[in-house]
């Protein structure tokens, strides 16, 4: 299974706030830096291990379980779905 942003959800960078924001029909979510890094890789093609590996190239100590935990919270918020 591969995570992807739900239909109508968009991750963008807000220059005013100088942070990423997740726009969706019900509102706006300001993800922390970790969640934003994961969300950038949620393209419906990468698996959780793929996302963890990509993040591991940029950051030290990335664990697949942690990526899965972040994704589970985003699924609960209904901004990410499994493809």
Mean pLDDT, range 56-71, rounded to an integer? 96
pLDDT for residue 69 is more than 90: yes
Cα radius of gyration rounded to whole Å, the chain: 12
pTM, two decimals, is: 0.93
Kindly list the distances between the CA atom of residue 66 and the CA atoms of 1, 15, 71, in Å, as whole numbers in the listed order: 17, 28, 9
Phi/psi zone of residue 75: left (φ > 0), alpha (ψ -120 to 50 degrees), beta? Answer: alpha
| The pair of three-digit structure tokens given for residue 5, joined into one six-digit string | 């942003």
pLDDT for residue 20 is more than 90: yes
Mean pLDDT, range 54-72, rounded to an integer? 97
Distance of alpha carbon 17 from alpha carbon 24, whole angstroms: 17
Domains and CATH numbers, the chain: 3-78 (1.10.10.1150)
pLDDT of residue 26: 86
């Amino acid at each position: 299974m591969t995570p992807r942003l739900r239909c109508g959800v968009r991750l963008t960078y807000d220059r005013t706030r100088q942070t990423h924001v997740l726009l969706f029909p019900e509102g706006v979510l300001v993800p922390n830096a970790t969640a934003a890094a994961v969300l950038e890789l949620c393209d419906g093609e990468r698996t959780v291990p793929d996302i963890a590996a990509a993040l591991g190239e940029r950051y030290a100590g990335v664990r697949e379980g942690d990526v899965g935990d972040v994704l589970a919270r985003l699924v609960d918020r209904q901004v990410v779905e499994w493809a």
